[in-house]
């Protein structure tokens, strides 16, 4: 295993207790240059996860609390007229950061949401006709609260596709909870943690992760999964080609984290719940049951 | 709790509106031919159900509740019973099926319901054949099957499949099924009997000769273009003016109507034959009567039919299905030289009080002392020389029909001439009977066979001469020789009522009609009338000897197997990719080895996951299991595997001893 990866994981595992799998999925998401959607109830450590990653990876961090009155300008930034200079000055918004936590993204109006999602997709924002690149790496963690849906705008399916993965954190187990209760506040733990990486080294890791080999036999497996999701009546809408690319990128990152230089079917299966869970819909058009559908997809398709 | 219970009661509609629309559209195609056969209220109900279901689908409305459907079902059954008086039998059962099918639409929610509907639709397609088995109907129903199969594909697919793609795939499926269909058609053992026979419509709608002839009966038949029968001759067809197709022989006259005897005149006819025998293979359309037709005079009866004393060819049962028979006729003959005296007596009977002027005429002839032959000539001369007119539209006859015709109107069709001639002869003391049947026919130059239509219906007379027997005399020939030589159309110029084909002068339209008739004839002969006998004959000819049912069944199984194998080979050739990876084959062998020891690899299990599970289950072999899994993963998934990896894997798998 890559020593950098090892120390990153050790550091984050020390902050977010008892969630090694979710931490590795998040890291895979970062390495695959994707964005992450966390769907869970408040207080299970979504902010801590985002914060810890920014700190350990040595990246600039910004948090945007989404509210119903949030405007696109609040995210992207705004041009202000400077009377003395006689020109407009652009004041960049919180999106101009390397790790952006978009908290409770479903509370904001679709207009504000799409401002963020466009930035995620394009890696740049356009204000007053001028295109400004976002810093690299650029990693968005959006959180969504699945309960208390009154007065919210859940992200539509087409927007969900912009997120490489969607994960749930869930409650910690008894041992981790005990350690959490007995330890210091997470904020002070994060403060005390020193960054393991910096921008340069993270970009290098991203490049390395992209070079992980995917053999023809493995691509056969990915294609079999995609085809099955499109043809079987168990799924409402199949996985898109973009979903296929995302799946492969995430699996490469996962194999890289595991310290291998080739993707195995197990890597695909490991990231599939995160990558496909929010992309698979049951045939009746309801939004539920994504994880059960992923299990079914894995069960139905043989490894070629 | 409450919501869960509710969800159980009415399941969610999971079929997309476009699938529902496709289903209802194909269903309406299937049911369309039935629309003219079922009562109007059913048509309206069925159409309403289909429209309503489509509307519900697109508008996302609720489906009707179960109790409403139950009530509707009850009313539908009641309505069927009120309309037909029964709910069984062809018409009522088909109507009921249609209603239930449309009601089933109203509770169609998910794929399973749609499947039920698709299969019902396939079944309903067949019911159309209970009414019509023509080529256009066959082609139309094939189109229906095509559409239904596209629906079947659609409900098995995720997402929004394109209609053109579905239709193409459906056509491909049907094309693949075609050879199998052919095999089953040709070889599936056929059984004669009520199980296989299609129910036939009653006598209604079938036209043809009857056992009685009154003025107007044949001329009305002459308006019909329908085919009576088709004839193939063994050799060149005889000349048109000798083509007298013998049908019912009428003996009894009541003053207006000539009738055949109520019971057959059973007995061996006394027939001396000569001349070249004419072999005919006749395909007779259903006419619900027992006559078969043959040229004058048939020398013997085909199977399940017999010849009567007056040489009518009678089938054992009314001809309710198209039938095909072979018969040989003899153009030169002597019939009944020593006829039964009782019959000759019968051939002289006339009702007393009818047609006094005709009787008087015959009486004057008789007093002239003419021989029977001279009497016949006298009558024919009268028809020829006096201004008699051959016409389809004679004026209506009053009480004394023969008197009226002979002395007043002098306009008539063949039945008038035959009836008047027979009356005169009987009145003059010459035994005479009327023979009805067909005369002539159209030679189809495309198929080299003769088509005899209802418009060729004809009537003539037979007189009995001492020492010569029964002689055919056709008084119509005396009036209008053209009728006998070239058919009714040529003899009746400028008459609008002659059937269409008769009027057409245009050669290519004629040719087209002939070609179409040939196709229809082939369809009748080879598809609809592919009977057990024909099947046996064909198989025997193919095998060059007698074939048993067991032989046919074996051939069926073998041919089905061959067809399926060929289709499978074609299909496999398209899907087979590169030759199987040797590493993968070794991995399969390894998996099988472990499966024998209770550690079966799930089909979706990768090498690492399986290695971990297997080595936990078989700890003694953990090292070799892991080594094999690692080698396999390297060979199959990694770059730059070492050259000896494959041989190592092979050896490791071979040497793995689990016991």
Task: Report residue B244 CA to chain centroid gap.
Answer: 29
Distance from CA of A279 to the nearest CA of B (A): 13
Candidates B367, B369, B469, B458; CA nearest to B417 is B458
Give the residue ranges of DSSP H helices in chain A: 3-15, 20-31, 46-57, 72-76, 110-122, 157-160, 174-182, 186-192, 199-210, 216-231, 241-257, 265-276, 290-300
Domain termination site, one of A157, A177, A203: A203
φ/ψ of B473, rounded to 5, equals -130, 125
Q: Are residues A173 and A286 in the same domain?
A: no
Task: With beta carbons under 8 A apart, name residues in chain A contacting B639.
Answer: 213, 215, 261-262
Nearest CB among B159, B603, B634 relative to A238 is that of B159
Break chain B into its structural domains and give their ranges.
13-156, 212-345+432-503, 582-655
| Band of residue A286 on the pLDDT scale cut at 50, 70, 90 | low
Residue A126 has pLDDT above 90, yes or no: no
Q: pLDDT tens digits for B522-558?
A: 887 777 777 777 787 778 887 777 777 788 888 889 9
A241 touches chain B (CB under 8 A): no
Q: Are residues A174 and A283 in the same domain?
A: no
* Whether A265 and B111 lie within 8 Å, measured CB to CB: no
B414, B456, B517, B621: which is the annotated catalytic residue? B414
Q: Which residue has the higher pLDDT, A101 or B239?
A: A101
Q: Are residues A41 and A85 in the same domain?
A: yes
Distance from CA of A124 to the nearest CA of B (A): 33
* Whether A237 and B158 lie within 8 Å, measured CB to CB: yes
Give pLDDT, residue B578: 58
**Complex ipTM, two decimals?**
0.84
Task: Report residue B218 CA to chain centroid gap.
Answer: 27
Q: Are residues A188 and A231 in the same domain?
A: no
Distance, in Å, from the CA atom of B421 to the CA atom of B393, rounded to the nearest integer, reads 19
Q: Are residues A289 and A220 in the same domain?
A: yes
Least reliable range by pLDDT among B268-282, B357-371, B498-512, B530-544? B498-512
Candidates B196, B292, B179; CA nearest to B528 is B196
Task: With beta carbons under 8 A apart, name residues in chain A contacting B158.
Answer: 229-233, 235-238, 283
Q: Are residues A151 and A226 in the same domain?
A: no
Q: Any idea what the CATH number is for the domain that residue A166 is in?
A: 3.40.50.300
Distance from CA of A304 to the nearest CA of B (A): 8
Nearest CB among A233, A263, A303 relative to B605 is that of A303
Q: What angle do CA B312, B317, B321 make, to 5 degrees?
A: 105
Q: Are residues A292 and A171 in the same domain?
A: no
Nearest CB among B14, B157, B633 relative to A264 is that of B633
Question: In the annotation, is B144 catalytic?
Answer: no
Task: With beta carbons under 8 A apart, name residues in chain B contacting A240.
Answer: none
Q: Are residues A191 and A255 in the same domain?
A: no
Give pLDDT, residue B139: 93
* Whether B159 and A237 lie within 8 Å, measured CB to CB: yes
Residue B57 has pLDDT above 50, yes or no: yes
Q: pLDDT tens digits for B221-280?
A: 666 777 889 898 877 778 878 889 998 899 988 878 888 887 887 877 788 888 888 889
Q: Are residues A112 and A136 in the same domain?
A: yes
* Whether A233 and B111 lie within 8 Å, measured CB to CB: yes
Q: pLDDT tens digits for A192-219?
A: 888 988 889 999 999 999 999 999 889 9
B10 touches chain A (CB under 8 A): no
Q: pLDDT tens digits for B24-53?
A: 999 999 999 999 888 999 999 999 999 999
* Whether A215 and B603 lie within 8 Å, measured CB to CB: no
Among A239-248, B353-362, B488-497, the range of highest mean pLDDT: A239-248
| Band of residue B219 on the pLDDT scale cut at 50, 70, 90 | low
In the predicted model, what is the mean pLDDT of chain B? Answer: 83
Side by side, the strands of the sheet bearing B323-329 are: B323-329, B278-284, B227-233, B449-453, B442-444
Candidates B108, B16, B162; CA nearest to A285 is B16
A231 touches chain B (CB under 8 A): yes
Question: In the annotation, is B414 catalytic?
Answer: yes
A251 touches chain B (CB under 8 A): no
In the predicted model, what is the mean pLDDT of chain A? Answer: 88
* Whether B158 and A231 lie within 8 Å, measured CB to CB: yes
Domain termination site, one of A148, A178, A203: A203
Contact between A167 and A22 under an 8 Å Cβ cutoff? The reply is: yes
Q: pLDDT tens digits for B561-617?
A: 999 999 888 878 776 555 678 888 889 889 988 888 888 888 888 898 999 999 998
| Band of residue B11 on the pLDDT scale cut at 50, 70, 90 | low
Give pLDDT, residue A190: 87
Residue B184 has pLDDT above 80, yes or no: yes
Percentage of residues in chain B with pLDDT exceeding 90?
17
Q: Which residue has the higher pLDDT, B543 or A37?
A: A37
Candidates B245, B260, B261; CA nearest to B210 is B260
Please give the average per-residue pLDDT across B284-296, as a whole number.
86
Q: pLDDT tens digits for B82-124?
A: 888 877 777 888 898 999 999 999 888 888 899 999 999 999 9
Per the structure, the count of domains in chain A is 2
Distance from CA of B573 to the nearest CA of A (A): 19
**HSE-up of A54 (CA within 13 Å, CB side)?**
22
The secondary structure of residue A105, as a DSSP letter, is G
Q: Are residues A193 and A288 in the same domain?
A: no
Give pLDDT, residue B198: 47
Task: With beta carbons under 8 A apart, name residues in chain A contacting B113.
Answer: none
Domain termination site, one of A203, A226, A248: A203
Q: Is residue A96 exposed (0-12), middle (13-18) or buried (19+ Cβ within 10 Å)? A: buried
Give me the helix-helix angle, B645-655 and B582-596, nearest 10°.
20
Tell me if residue B310 falls in helix, strand or coil. coil
Distance from CA of B159 to the nearest CA of A (A): 5
Residue B199 has pLDDT above 50, yes or no: no
Task: With beta carbons under 8 A apart, name residues in chain B contacting A243.
Answer: none
Please give the average per-residue pLDDT across B146-168, as a whole number.
87
Q: Any idea what the CATH number is for the domain that residue A289 is in?
A: 1.10.8.80
φ/ψ of B383, rounded to 5, equals -60, -40
Task: With beta carbons under 8 A apart, name residues in chain A contacting B637.
Answer: 213, 215, 217-218, 262-265
Contact between B210 and B248 under an 8 Å Cβ cutoff? The reply is: yes
Please give the average per-residue pLDDT across A73-97, as a whole number.
87
Contact between A103 and A39 under an 8 Å Cβ cutoff? The reply is: no
First to last CA, chain A: 27
Question: In the annotation, is B458 catalytic?
Answer: yes
Please give the average per-residue pLDDT across A264-287, as a whole number.
85
B400, B474, B517, B621: which is the annotated catalytic residue? B474
B277 touches chain A (CB under 8 A): no
Residue B397 has pLDDT above 70, yes or no: no
Q: Are residues A14 and A155 in the same domain?
A: yes
Q: Are residues A189 and A45 in the same domain?
A: yes
Distance, in Å, from the CA atom of A160 to the CA atom of B294, rounded to the nearest integer, reads 83
A283 touches chain B (CB under 8 A): yes
* Whether B606 and A266 lie within 8 Å, measured CB to CB: yes
Q: Is residue B312 exposed (0-12), middle (13-18) or buried (19+ Cβ within 10 Å)? A: buried
Distance from CA of A93 to the nearest CA of B (A): 40
Tell me if residue B113 falls in helix, strand or coil. helix
The secondary structure of residue B600, as a DSSP letter, is P
Least reliable range by pLDDT among B105-119, B373-387, B429-443, B534-548? B534-548
Cβ-based neighbour number of residue B371 at 10 Å: 11
Q: Please tell me whether the peptide bond between B273 and the residue prior to it is cis, using omega within 30 degrees of 0.
A: no
Contact between B236 and B449 under an 8 Å Cβ cutoff? The reply is: no
Contact between A75 and A95 under an 8 Å Cβ cutoff? The reply is: yes
Q: Is residue B567 exposed (0-12), middle (13-18) or buried (19+ Cβ within 10 Å)? A: middle
Give pLDDT, residue B186: 84
Nearest CA in chain A to B639: A213
Residues of the domain holding A227: 211-300
Distance, in Å, from the CA atom of A212 to the CA atom of A193, rounded to the nearest integer, reads 30
């Amino acid at each position: 295993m890559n020593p950098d990866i090892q120390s990153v994981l050790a550091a984050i595992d020390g902050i977010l207790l008892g969630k090694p799998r979710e931490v590795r999925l998040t890291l895979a998401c970062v390495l695959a240059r994707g964005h992450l959607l966390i769907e869970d109830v408040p207080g299970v450590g979504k902010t801590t996860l985002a914060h810890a990653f920014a700190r350990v990876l040595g990246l600039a961090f910004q948090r945007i609390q989404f509210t119903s009155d949030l405007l696109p300008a609040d995210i992207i930034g705004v041009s202000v007229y400077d009377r003395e200079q006689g020109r407009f000055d652009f004041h960049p918004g919180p999106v101009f950061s390397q790790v952006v936590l978009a908290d409770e993204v479903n509370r904001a109006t679709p207009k504000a949401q799409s401002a963020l999602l466009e930035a995620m997709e394009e890696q740049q924002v356009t204000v007053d006709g001028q295109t400004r690149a976002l810093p690299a790496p650029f990693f968005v963690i959006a959180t969504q609260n699945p309960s208390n849906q009154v007065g919210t705008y859940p992200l539509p399916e087409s927007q969900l596709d912009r997120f490489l993965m969607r994960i749930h954190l869930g409650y910690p187990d008894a041992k981790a909870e005990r350690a959490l209760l007995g330890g210091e506040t997470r904020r002070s733990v994060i403060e005390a943690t020193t960054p393991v990486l910096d921008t340069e080294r993270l970009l290098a890791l991203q490049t390395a992760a992209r070079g992980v080999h995917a053999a023809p036999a493995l691509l056969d497996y990915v294609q079999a999964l995609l085809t099955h999701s499109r043809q079987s009546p168990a799924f409402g809408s199949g996985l898109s080609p973009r979903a296929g690319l995302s799946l492969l990128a995430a699996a490469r990152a996962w194999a890289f984290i595991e310290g291998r230089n080739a993707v195995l079917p197990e890597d695909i299966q490991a990231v599939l719940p995160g990558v496909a869970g929010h992309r698979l819909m049951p045939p009746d058009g309801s939004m539920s049951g994504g994880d059960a559908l992923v299990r079914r997809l894995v069960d139905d398709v043989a490894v070629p | 709790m409450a919501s869960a219970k509710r969800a159980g009661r009415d399941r969610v509609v999971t079929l997309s509106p476009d699938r529902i629309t496709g289903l209802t559209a194909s269903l309406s195609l299937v049911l369309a031919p039935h629309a003219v056969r079922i009562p109007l209220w059913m048509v309206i109900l069925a159409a309403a159900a289909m429209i309503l279901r489509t509307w519900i689908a697109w508008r996302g409305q609720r489906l009707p509740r179960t109790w409403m459907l139950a009530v509707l079902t009850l009313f539908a059954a009641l309505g069927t019973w009120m309309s037909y008086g029964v709910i069984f039998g062809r018409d009522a059962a088909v109507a009921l099926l249609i209603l239930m099918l449309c009601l089933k639409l109203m509770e169609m929610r998910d794929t399973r319901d749609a499947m039920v509907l698709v299969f019902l639709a396939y079944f309903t397609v067949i019911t159309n054949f209970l009414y019509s088995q023509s080529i256009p109907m066959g082609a139309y129903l094939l189109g229906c099957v095509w559409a239904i199969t596209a629906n079947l594909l659609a409900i098995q697919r995720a997402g929004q499949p394109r209609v053109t793609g579905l239709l193409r795939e459906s056509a491909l499926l049907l094309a693949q099924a075609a050879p199998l269909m052919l095999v089953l058609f040709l070889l599936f053992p056929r059984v004669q009997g009520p199980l296989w026979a299609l129910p036939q419509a009653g006598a209604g709608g079938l036209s043809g000769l009857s056992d009685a002839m009154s003025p107007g009966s044949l001329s009305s038949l002459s308006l019909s273009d329908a085919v009576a029968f088709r004839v193939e001759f063994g050799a060149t067809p005889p000349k048109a003016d000798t083509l007298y197709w013998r049908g019912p022989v009428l003996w009894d006259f009541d003053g207006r109507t000539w009738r055949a005897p109520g019971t057959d005149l059973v007995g061996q006819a006394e027939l001396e034959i000569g001349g070249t025998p004419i072999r005919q293979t006749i395909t007779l359309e259903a006419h619900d009567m027992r006559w078969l037709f043959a040229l004058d005079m048939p020398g013997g009866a085909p199977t399940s039919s017999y010849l009567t004393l007056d040489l009518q060819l009678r089938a054992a049962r009314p001809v309710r299905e198209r039938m095909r028979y072979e018969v040989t006729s003899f153009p030169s003959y002597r019939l009944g030289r020593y006829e039964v005296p009782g019959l000759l007596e019968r051939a002289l009977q006339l009702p007393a009080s009818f047609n006094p002027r005709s009787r008087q005429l015959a009486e004057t002839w008789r007093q002239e002392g003419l021989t029977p032959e001279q009497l016949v000539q006298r009558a024919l001369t009268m028809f020829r020389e006096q201004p008699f007119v051959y016409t389809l539209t004679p004026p209506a006859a009053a009480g004394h029909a023969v008197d009226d015709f002979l002395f007043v109107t002098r306009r008539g069709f063949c039945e008038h001439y035959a009836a008047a001639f027979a009356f005169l002869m009987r009145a003059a003391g010459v035994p005479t009977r009327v023979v009805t049947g067909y005369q002539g026919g159209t030679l189809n130059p495309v198929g080299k066979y003769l088509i005899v239509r209802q418009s060729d219906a004809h009537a003539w007379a037979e007189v009995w001469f001492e020492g010569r027997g029964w002689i055919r005399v056709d008084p119509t020939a005396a009036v209008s020789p053209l009728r006998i030589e070239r058919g009714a159309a040529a003899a009746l110029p400028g008459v609008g009522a002659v059937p269409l084909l008769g009027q057409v002068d245009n050669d290519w339209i004629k040719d087209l009609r002939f070609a179409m008739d040939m196709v229809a004839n082939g369809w009748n002969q080879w598809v609809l009338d592919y009977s057990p006998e024909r099947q046996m004959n064909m198989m025997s000819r193919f095998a060059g000897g007698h074939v048993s049912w067991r032989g046919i069944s074996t051939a069926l199984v073998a041919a089905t197997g061959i067809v399926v194998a060929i289709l499978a080979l074609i299909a496999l050739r398209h899907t087979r990719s590169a030759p199987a990876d040797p590493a993968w084959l070794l991995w399969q062998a390894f998996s099988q080895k472990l499966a024998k020891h209770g550690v079966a690899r799930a089909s979706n299990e990768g090498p690492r996951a399986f290695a971990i599970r297997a080595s936990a289950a078989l700890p003694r072999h953990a090292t070799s299991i892991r080594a094999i899994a690692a080698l396999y993963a390297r060979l199959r998934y990694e770059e730059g595997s070492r050259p000896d990896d494959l041989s190592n894997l092979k050896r490791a798998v071979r040497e793995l001893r689990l016991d």
